Structure 1
Amino acid sequence: MEAQVPKQSASLLILNGKSAGNEELRQAVKYYRQEGYPLFVRVTWEHGDAQRYVAEAVERGVATVIGGDGTINEVAGALTLLPAAQRPCLGILPLGTANDFATACTIPLELDKALLLAIVGKPVPIDIAQVNNDRFFINMATGGFGTRITTETPEKLKSALGGASYFIHGLLRMDTLKADSCEIRGPDFHWQGDALVIGIGNGRLAGGGQALCPGALINDGRLQLRIIASEEWLPTLINSLANGDDHPQSLSASSPWLQVDAPNEIIFNLDGEPLRGRQFHITVIPAALTCRLPPQCPLLA
């Protein structure tokens, strides 16, 4: 590490327990503290901890709250609930299983470089999506077979294989493959049928690097919808997701809001957090947060 860190306001880093022992991150934190930058670290134990730590950041006058992909959902949601005048900037570290959002934003995978960006990067306004007026996601809401796989993939497999664990676990569970019957509406869109995969993207990647919503941008005030409805599940899924291309059995749309209704309970995965229900109203909150991102971030319009 040879970067010179400008002196400015403090940052608060929120980690989940799995990341707290990461030696590379510990060394990066130690280095930047020695360079004179005030950096607080908090570790979550249970749901709600991140929101309490964000409140602490406001009390301390912290300029940036930094989360990993594993805590970003709760951190971003807590920041969104703050009054705009009190809201710290968001920084992101690639500390999740798949790091889909960080990867799509081209945030460095080296933790020292990612931490430097989170501390001193230029803040830019970004959108966040709200679900049923009380839940949020910054990257993507996914439904269908892929969501059941990511929800059920064992923690040990994720720790060993990262994003590839989702694909491997999916191959092992093909006996459970079935589509979700639902109706999806937007201001200029309507679809009803059986969906094998549903992606509602503010970001582009899901499930370990699959370009489910390849045209999504995080500052355009819109969500990208991707539906894969196909009985020929394997060639469609592999070709469409691996290449990021449209497919005859794939439908895409862009909308500021979407309404999803299902006759039976379905699961949406919101940045890794499952949400069950039969009705989901998903809308964009434009420029809800500021986030420290690379200058040429592909997700910015």
Structure 2
Amino acid sequence: MLTAPAALLIVNGKSAGDEELRMAVERHREAGYPLHVRVTWEHGDAQRYVEEAARLRVETVIAGGGDGTINEIAGALVLLPAEHRPCLGILPLGTANDFALSCAIPQGLDKALALAINGKPADIDIAQVNHDRYFINMATGGFGTRITSETPAKLKSALGGASYFIHGLLRMDTLKADSCEIKGPGFNWAGEALVIGIGNGRQAGGGQALCPDALINDGLLQLRVYASEALLPILLNSLTSDEQNPHVISASLPWLEIEAPHEVTFNLDGEPLKGKKFLITVLPAALTCRLPPLCPLLG
């Protein structure tokens, strides 16, 4: 039996009873990998467990859940002193798993857990919002944000990522744009936005590649704005096509400011944030993460 550094697995409470997960954990323990397991019950649990992981001096904290769980754990890790900051591992257990899919994390729990424990660490960026909030994958605003936040849990459970698209079609009567101004280094745009994507990762909303050129280790965020002039057929085509569209605004920026005359909502990997002004800054190489050798998000 080998001797390996310990890891702490933080599992979203919704997945705690998953039999495949329990078997995967047991197999790795039997193979000699010390795995502590903690289960979240309410908001704030992930941060407490990350702080515990630092005290235990584990080498890796594994986020077992969807994009929201990964984001909460990543945001807690970045608050730790660098010298006591464990590596991040990812075990996809959510509805859409947008970040894990973009990173090419294996969907089988055995393979994903093996990667989370033994994968080669890579330096990755994380984004900071208004100095005290974070996202590892994407911030989205506009109509798409309202749809993802309103999609019923039962529909997500039954249909996975496709549930967001279906619910969006059912709510087309509520389609409206958000007026805003977006500034960054050498960039300024003002207008009516149907969808805003600010990507460290590439996809959100159950597989929509809003920021298809984003990388998680280039020190930049990809901004994509779908302006209100983009009628529905054009918009849907834009989300699945690389063709140039005059109503799609794109830029790569180390930081950006967004101001709106009225309150708008941004979705930070599943966590809503309301306001009229947002400052979003990339923190280069803020974390290390165990990723596949050919991860598409690494430049």
TM-score normalized by structure 1?
0.96
CA displacement 1:50-87 (0-9 Å, x = unmatched):
00000110111111001132411110000000000000
Contact 1:51 1:75 in 2 (8 A): yes
User: Which one of 11, 24, 34 corresponds to residue 7 of structure 2?
Assistant: 11
Report the TM-score when normalising by structure 2: 0.97
**Structure 2 unaligned residues grouped into runs of 5+:** none
Amino acid aligned to 2:237:
N
| Aligned 1:173-184 pairs, distance under 5 A | 173-184=171-182
One-letter identity of the residue aligned with 2:298 = L
CA deviation string 1:106-150 (max 9, x = no partner)? 001111100100000000100000000000000000000000000
How far does residue 245 in structure 1 lie from its aligned partner after superposition? 4.0
| Distance change in 2, residues 1:6/1:148 (3 Å) | farther
Aligned to 2:110: 112
In the alignment of these two chains, the number of paired residues is 297
Of residues 199, 202, 205, the one that matches 1:204 is 202
Separation (CA, whole Å) in 2 of partners of 1:293 and 1:213:
20
1:34 to 6, 30, 55: 30
Structure 1's unaligned 5+ residue stretches are none
- Aligned-pair CA distance for 1:230: 2.9
Once the two structures are superposed, residues 211-254 of structure 1 have per-residue CA deviations (whole angstroms, 9 ceiling, x without a partner) of 10001000000000000003443112210112244422101000
Alpha-carbon separation, structure 1, partners of 2:174 and 2:14 = 29
- Measured in 2, the distance between the counterparts of 1:239 and 1:44 equals 39
CA contact (8 A) 2:211 2:224 kept: yes
2: distance between equivalents of 1:137 and 1:6? 36
Name the CA distance, whole Å, in 2 between partners of 1:114 and 1:176: 39
CA distance in 2, matches of 1:36, 1:232: 55
What are the residue-to-residue correspondences of 1:157-236 with 2, within 5 Å?
A: 157-236=155-234
1:299 matched to 2:297: yes
Partner residue, 1:50: 46
Secondary structure at 1:71's aligned position in 2? helix
State whether residues 230 and 236 of structure 1, in contact with CA within 8 Å, keep that contact through their aligned partners in structure 2.
no
Which of residues 20, 23, 29 in structure 2 aligns to 1:24?
Answer: 20
Q: How far, CA to CA, are the matches of 2:243 and 2:115 in structure 1?
A: 31
DSSP-derived class of the 1:299 partner: coil
Report the secondary structure of 1:205's partner residue. Answer: coil
Deviations 1:235-275 (A, max 9, x none): 12210112244422101000000100011111101011111
Give the SS at the match of 1:40: strand
Q: Which amino acid aligns with 1:12?
A: L
SS of match in other structure, 1:206? coil
Distance 1:298 1:267, change over 3 A: same
